[in-house]
Structure 1
Amino acid sequence: DQHSQWEAAGIVGLLWIGLAALACVGWLVLPPAWACVSTSLLALACAFVQTRAKLPALQWASAALHAGALVGFASTLHALHGEAMLSSGWQGLVAAVVIGTSLLVSAWLPLQAVLREAEAKKSPPQWSLGSSIGLLAGVGALALSLLFVMPADEAARIWPWLGVAALWLGLRLGHPALAIAWGALQLGAALAFGVYGPALWADTSDQLTLWTPLGFTLAGLISGDALQRAARKSNAAGWLSAPWLQWGVVWWSLAWWAQVLLPDAYRHLVRTQKEWVLLWPAVLTGWVLVTSVLVTTLARWRDWRVLGLTAWVTTPALALTALIGVGMLGHAPHQHLGWLVWPLALLWHGVLLRALTRWCSAAALAPLHVGGFWLFVLLAARDAQWWTAGWGEPGSAWPVLGWVLVPAVVLALITRPRMLQRWPLNEFRTPYLVVACAPVALYLLLWLWVSNTQSGAPDPLPYVPLLNPLELGHGLVLLALFLWRRALPESTQIPRPLLLGGLGATAFALYTGMVLRICHHWAGVPWEADALFDSTLTQAALSVAWSIVGVTLMLLGHKQVQRVVWVVGAALLGVVVLKLFFVELADRGGLYRIVSFIVVGLLLLLVGYFAPVPPSRKENHDVA
């Protein structure tokens, strides 16, 4: 047995020596590049014989010869002076193609046996490390062969498609090495294009730069579709359904899609439009819409859930473009082509919300409904303010009214019973009425208090109480808040005491503001805090107006047996009496002081006779 082992080792040694001698012949009589080719072909012959004779030594010899051919060929590579490509031209191309092909064929020969064995056992094939290295080396040699006849930035246009072919073959065979080659080719092409290609966003470039990014995009989408379809098979490998792979290829494709049209549009605007920056938000908005439409259509066509989910970011992207155009640049939404893109955006937003129900749950869609509601309400409110600002003279109440028209109308319309029965309110009632409308209602409430400090000048129209732009806005807002509160679900109703207290205080403040504005516009009292406080007419008007409210509350509380309402009215009358003694008495001999004392006194007599303290609910129940 020992003698047989020594004999076998001797045979293997002679085999290696003979192959080395044959390989050296090529290096002695051929140029280095072609010597590498001859070595690679010798390695291919060894691999072919090994599949027939089943000699493991030939397999190792083939691997060693291939490695020697690759190392030798790499030593002959030289960059072309001043170019991002290799010298040797077509000779180098042919040599690299032959070496790469021989590597692929040598790796393919043992793969056939593995595939047959796996098919017989009905189990996944077990790939060897050697076959994986051979496939990677072969694909790499074929990819680098392009550098002999074209620069790296042009080769970068072809490498992604070579990667697609490798991925297609890898998915058919179930070989992960070819998928690795696909990923390496995508990254290598991107690196070559980024280093040696034209600057995409440079405004000095005269050529169109969209073709290479478009190739990256299409190659990425084709690859992603192949991966997601392969992952759905029952016998799919685990790595195919990895989230980082499925999501990564989609975002890779969309990142390159962003470089397809935007850089060329940017350069065109810079060169042809003097104020190009004003049009840029509309261009971005249009690009977001086109991208969202294409992504959604492709996802539905290919039943591609991951790609469809990326359309979720459409609304945040639209919010970003609105922030750039309306927030940072300060123009109205309808300006600079906004009249075209934003109505289309609103229309597509509704269509997209319907389409996303195919891939997203209701919980994931709720933020989009709320965010889209806020976005378009804000845009419409800004546009309404821009239009109403030109209706009156500077300093009038028209611009103030513009900020509240759209939110109040939307809040009133969205709470209508017919609207609540339609989509999307019938499916997302709580997100709309509570989450989306609550900040709008709070904004309207704050607007009531802030706008109440304005003089409400309706210039060029005359001031008419309750029929001027400011107080018409107050009435519209109060109506909208009332309708919203009534439409709220029972589980989210605001506590009644808190609601009545807040609305009562707001209504009283608006009523007081209206009285002050009447004094300002009809009596010429300056709209300043000190002037209004020092005016005896204003103080008398407030005393009478507050007394009327107090008496009304006391009468209402007595009639409805609401002691709390009666007490509030009595407290207000008490405040009026204190005001008469501490404020009006300072105006000695003034006519307005006399009138206010007489009116308040008469009202006190009236309420004392007609509206005494009502009994409590318990006392009233005992009497009954």
Structure 2
Amino acid sequence: MDELLIFGCIVLLFVGVVVPILAIVALNRTSAFRFELTVLRRRLEELEKRGVAEKPVMPQAEAVTTAPTLVAPEPVAAVVPEPADPWLSRAKAAPAAREPDPVNAVTKDPEPSALGGMVTSLVRWFMQGNPLAKLGILLLFFGLSFLLRYTVEHSLFPLELRLVAAALFALVLLATGWRLRHKQPVYALILQGGATGALYLTVFGAFRLWQMLPMTLAFALLVVICAASVGLAILQKALSLAMLASLGGYLAPLLLSSGSGNHVALFSFYLLLSVGILAISIWQHWRELNLLGLAFTFGVGGLWGANAYQPANYLSCQLFLIANTILFGVLSVALSLRAQEKGKQLIDGVLLFAPPLVGFGMQYAITRHWEYGPALSALGYGGFYVALAWLALRRYPSLGKPLVLAALALGGAFITLAIPLALSARWTSMAWALEGLGILWLGVQQHQRRMTYSGTALLVLALCSAVWAQVNGTVPLSLMLIFAVLSLCWLAGAWLWRAVQLQVSLGLLAGGLLFWLVALAGASQWVLNNDSRVMAGVLGLLAISVWGWRGVAGRLAWQALDHSKWLLWPMMLVMLLYQISQQQIFAAGWSNLAWCVALPAAVALLWRDGAALPPRLSRIAHLSLFWMVLLALAMELFWFARDLPWGMAAWGSGLMMAAGGLTIFLINEAVGRNIWPFRVWPALYGVQAMLPVAVALTGLLVLTNFQDGVVYRQTWLPLINPLEEGAALALLGLVMLYRAALRYFPVYIAVSRPWPVVALLALSCWWLNGMLLRALAWYGEIAWDADALWHSRLVQTCFALVWMLAALVVMLHATRRHSRHQWLCGAVLLGIVIVKLMLVDSAGGGGLARAIAFIGVAILVLIVGYFSPLPPKAGEAK
């Protein structure tokens, strides 16, 4: 059954992997040969056109790396091809050893990412040269491994014989590959790599699985095989040999593992292989080889640690982790820089950043059971890379410059990471903020844009840590300290950024001011210990803070910070709305001490700096402050009128209307007497600021006219009562507002005529009718009820006569002014009276009141017809 399973796996592997790869390779090779033939034909035609008699030499198959150009080739000298590595990219391999590779026909690949670069490099290595031979040697390696396992399980041959046979077979492959290195360099290198892997497998199996070799001898043999593979790879400049040998060495312990979990032997073997890769890099730097070792070492180590790590294994794992981090993250990068052209060194980002980052993840896993283990580990990593940067700068001032910058970045990152691992979120936030400010200052001083960005990013991380601390719950004192430090650091960062980029400076400034408000809230909670007074505390402290911002901005000549003092206005509005929601302003008690600080501060700011603002902003500042004061007084008056006892509603309505009218009168007087601040914007205060008052008075005049005006236990007198006197003052105030608008905005009033006057007349008529109705209800002893008033003959008759008299007055005035429009308005009112007499007064049948109404109206109509005929139209004869 096992044999069938193995055979089935081999068949599936062949069908699923080998056949598609063969098809792709064959198709690519056919396309490549066709393309090369077309290029050669074009070159031949070009040579024939130029009359070149010499027959062009057919060059060997080359990989097409760029688009072909029709130019005559230089005479090709006879060059004996040297053994070259077919797995090298075309930018590195010798021209004579190149093979067609249309799959990777590109001129230059960009620097890949960590995972993407590793996968791309391995795929490129496999597809270059002779992929069929590589696939064959890999399948042979797997087949021998399965065969060896099968013979072990079924005891077909003595163990010694099996090991000797495997070793002899590997040596034969190695010798055959060495002899074919000149005739078939690609095939020879594949055989040598497979033989090296088989020798690794044999020695490791004899030592690890069957304990037939002592540890000293086994490691000695592994060292010899490693050294031999290094020597062969360097002599032949063969990446393929190094890749296959390393791949076989890394796979050997995995394929023949018995599951005992002896990690020391496994990682010692891997460490030996890593040393071999490093030794190869001394003479020949192959990035793919380093990536292969990095992937196997840390990948296998991570899998083992996730499944089998115990705290008792700490020391051995720590040593292996340190050794591999130094091998791949430091020495490999240094050798890579040395191998590159001087002055054009580029750091391999994968080799530089992957080992410390992945290694620190493993370091965290093995030290997390200690209280400060991860923090000390991060501090150790940071100190190591800072020391490495110092050493590289001191020892290799020119060659080590790229490594110095990268090492400093890594060291700073790990030291920064040590802070949250050792401290709580609130201390981490403050430490990161200070550290970010320091890095930002250094970047600006040294004109290092990347360092500037790094410091700014650290300020943002400090904010994230502060938010995390707040989510988990903090006391008011901690809240104050965290956001005070954060605010000061962000404000300092904004000042540093203002000479670099204004947008970033404004963003940091806005954040710093917002964090300062949060800090003030924390201070208020800490000192007052009362939620209802926190808002007042913030307002009072902000009123003091704006003067501090003003002073600092003046010393630093920082205009953006100077504008921040106007934040007092929105804070006062928030405080006012909060008190209105609580329905207490003057009754707020000690909280109003904040207004005693904020209002004088706001008035002083307008006095000193209001003129420096642009005109539009200055008007907004004046108007908003005035409206806030007006809103506070209006709400207090409204609450006072609402809380009056039963029967005093007339006093409340009258007081509110009288207050609105007196406000318009007093403001106009202040504007006329040039009192500050009304003289600064007279039109603003005299008209625009009074528009909300006018709207409120209009609403009060309309709504309160439905009241009976009676005060409990008092006699109602026409015109001499709170409701009528308040309405008179309100109407007087509206008339004064109209005159002020006519004075300051004549153009707008001229355009809107005659509607403001019509509105004032309508309000006056509305109130006069209400006053008449209240008088009739009181003296006629009619209940103040809509149904009772409607069916009252006295009310209907009086209204008919009054309206008729009003129509008469209007029509007489129109006749004297020769105004046809006014006369028509009076006629309309007269028509309304007649319709009312016919439909309302006559509906209830006869009666003295109805007769008097009709007679009175008839007499008035006759009088109007005599004294006030219809004025003629313009241009008509009288």
| TM-score over 0.5 for the pair | yes
Structure exhibiting the larger radius of gyration computed from Cα positions: 2
Contact 1:388 1:398 in 2 (8 A): yes
- In structure 2, relative to structure 1, the CA distance for the partners of 1:345 and 1:455 (3 Å cut) is farther
**Pairwise CA distance, 1:549:** 2.1
Matching residue within 684, 690, 699 for 1:446: 699
Contact 2:385–2:407, Cα closer than 8 Å, also in 1: no
1:496 aligns to 2:753 (yes or no): yes
The CA deviation at 1:371 is: 4.2
Structure 1 pair 112–421 and aligned structure 2 pair: CA distance change class (3 A): farther
1:315 touches 1:372 (CA, 8 Å); kept in 2? Answer: yes
| CA offsets 1:239-293 (integer angstroms, 9 cap, x no match) | x2241x1222122223322332324645777xx66xx55x455456546645555
CA distance in 2, matches of 1:163, 1:294: 24
Of residues 460-469 and 99-108 in structure 1, the stretch that sits farther from structure 2 once superposed is 99-108
**1:481 to 2:481 alignment:** no
CA offsets 1:480-512 (integer angstroms, 9 cap, x no match) = 222222222122215322223222222111110
| Corresponding residue number in structure 1 for 2:615 | 362
- Aligned match of 1:235: none
CA–CA distance in 1 between the matches of 2:674 and 2:398? 65
Q: Structure 1 residue 610: deviation in Å?
A: 4.7
Which residue identity lines up with residue 508 of structure 2 in the other structure? V
Name the CA shift for 1:41/1:423 in 2 (closer, same or farther; >3 Å): farther
Distance in 1 between the 2:344 and 2:557 partners?
50
Shift in CA distance, 155/571, structure 1 to aligned 2, threshold 3 Å: closer
Correspondence 1:246 to 2:498? no
Question: Take 1:11 and 1:87, find their aligned partners in 2: how far apart are those partners?
Answer: 34
Confirm or deny: 8 A CA contact 2:783 2:789 kept in the other structure: yes
Counterpart selection for 1:76 from 334, 346, 363: 363
Give a deviation string over 1:340-386, Cα, whole Å, max 9, x none. Answer: 44465544444455677588533345445444444433322111112
1:15 Cα deviation from its structure 2 partner: 11
- How far off is 1:393 after superposition? 3.1
Work out whether residues 820 and 871 of structure 2, in 8 Å CA contact, stay in contact via their aligned partners in 1. yes
Specify which of 95, 99, 103 is matched with residue 384 of structure 2: 99
SS class of match (2:719):
coil
Asked which structure has the greater RCO (Cα within 8 Å, sep 6+), the reply is 1
Which deviates the most, 509-518 or 306-315?
Answer: 306-315
What is the one-letter code of the residue matched to 2:632? L
- SS of 1:483's partner is helix
CA separation of 1:446 and 1:510: change in aligned 2, threshold 3 A: same
Q: Which amino acid aligns with 1:444?
A: L
Residue 830 of structure 2 corresponds to 573
Cα distance, 1:223 vs structure 2: 1.5
Structural mapping, 1:30-69, within 5 Å? none
Question: What one-letter code is carried by the residue in structure 2 that aligns with 1:254?
Answer: L
| CA deviation map 1:507-539 (0-9, x unaligned) | 111110110111223332222221111112212
Matched, 1:302 2:556: yes
Matches within 5 A, 1:442-591: 442-459=695-712, 461-488=714-741, 489-493=745-749, 495-585=752-842, 590=847
Q: 1: distance between equivalents of 2:395 and 2:622?
A: 57
Q: Is the 8 A contact 2:585 2:592 kept in 1?
A: no
Partner amino acid, structure 2, of 1:257: W
Structure-1 residue corresponding to 2:444: 171
**Cα displacement (A) at 1:56:** 5.7
User: Shift of residue 299 of structure 1?
Assistant: 3.8
Q: Where does residue 115 of structure 2 map in the other structure?
A: none
**Alpha-carbon spacing, 1:37–1:99, altered in 2? closer, same or farther (3 Å):** farther
Residue 36 of structure 1 contacts residue 69 of structure 1 at CA under 8 Å; is this kept in 2?
no
Once residues 607 and 88 of structure 1 are traced to their aligned partners in structure 2, the CA distance between those partners, rounded to angstroms, is: 103
Distance 1:516 1:138, change over 3 A: same
Distance 1:220 1:361 in 2: 27
| Contact 1:132–1:177 (8 Å) recurs in 2 | no
Q: For 2:460 and 2:830, locate their aligned partners in 1 and report how far apart those are by CA, in whole Å.
A: 80
Provide TM-score, normalisation by structure 2.
Answer: 0.54
Cα deviations across residues 200-227 of structure 1 (Å, max 9, x unaligned)?
A: 5x7xx58643212211111111221222
Instruction: Classify the secondary structure of the residue corresponding to 2:430.
Output: coil
The amino acid of 1:530's aligned partner reads: D
Which residue is 2:577 aligned to?
323
AA partner of residue 483 (structure 2)? P
- Structure 1 Cα separation of the partners of residues 445 and 780 of structure 2: 90
- CA displacement at 1:103 relative to structure 2: 5.5
Which of the residues 460, 463, 474 maps onto 1:187?
460
- What secondary structure sits across from 1:221 in the alignment? helix
Q: Give deviations 1:446-496, integer Å, cap 9, x for gaps.
A: 332222222223345432222322222222222222222222212221532
Could you say if the C-alpha distance between residues 408 and 396 of structure 1 is closer, same or farther in structure 2, counting changes exceeding 3 Å?
Answer: same
Cα gap change, 1:345/1:573 in structure 2, threshold over 3 Å: closer, same or farther? farther
| Alpha carbons 1:411, 1:484 under 8 Å: kept | yes
1:26-72 Cα deviation digits (max 9, x unpaired): x99x96898799999998xx89x99xxx9669996999789867765
Q: Which amino acid aligns with 1:182?
A: G
For residues 282-431 of structure 1, the aligned pairs below 5 Å read 282-283=536-537, 285-286=539-540, 289=543, 292-312=546-566, 314-326=568-580, 328-332=581-585, 334-337=587-590, 339-342=592-595, 344-353=597-606, 361-391=614-644, 393-394=646-647, 396-416=649-669, 418-419=671-672, 428=681
CA distance in 1 between counterparts of 2:327 and 2:850 reads 117
Q: For 1:82 and 1:359, how far apart are their aligned partners in 2?
A: 61
**Distance (whole Å) between structure 2 residues aligned to residue 31 and residue 402 of structure 1:** 88
Listed as ranges, the matches of 1:112-151 within 5 Å are: 133-146=406-419, 150-151=423-424
- Percent identity between the aligned chains? 23
In the alignment, the residues of structure 2 paired with residue 139 and residue 401 of structure 1 have an alpha-carbon distance, to the nearest angstrom, of: 73
Distance 1:563 1:79, change over 3 A: farther
Name the amino acid aligned to 2:723: L
Distance 1:522 1:107 in 2: 108
CA 1:316/1:182 → structure 2, altered by over 3 Å: closer, same or farther? same
- Any idea what SS the aligned residue of 2:783 has? coil
Partner of residue 430, structure 2: 157
Deviation at 1:325, TM superposition (A): 3.2
TM-score, normalised relative to structure 1? 0.74
Cα 1:416/1:307, change in 2 over 3 Å = same
Q: 1:178 to 1:310 in 2, by over 3 A?
A: same
The 3-state SS of whatever aligns with 1:76 is helix
The residue number in structure 1 matching 2:493 is: 223
Aligned pair count reads 569
Kindly tell me: are residues 383 and 153 of structure 1, through their superposed partners in 2, closer, same or farther at Cα, counting changes over 3 Å? closer
What letter corresponds to residue 13 of structure 1 in structure 2? I
When structure 1 is superposed on structure 2, of 488-497 and 559-568 the one drifting more is 559-568
Give the match's secondary structure for 1:261. helix
Amino acid paired to 1:213? F
CA contact (8 A) 1:393 1:460 kept: no
CA contact (8 A) 1:346 1:376 kept: no
C-alpha contact (below 8 Å) 1:153/1:196 kept by paired residues: yes
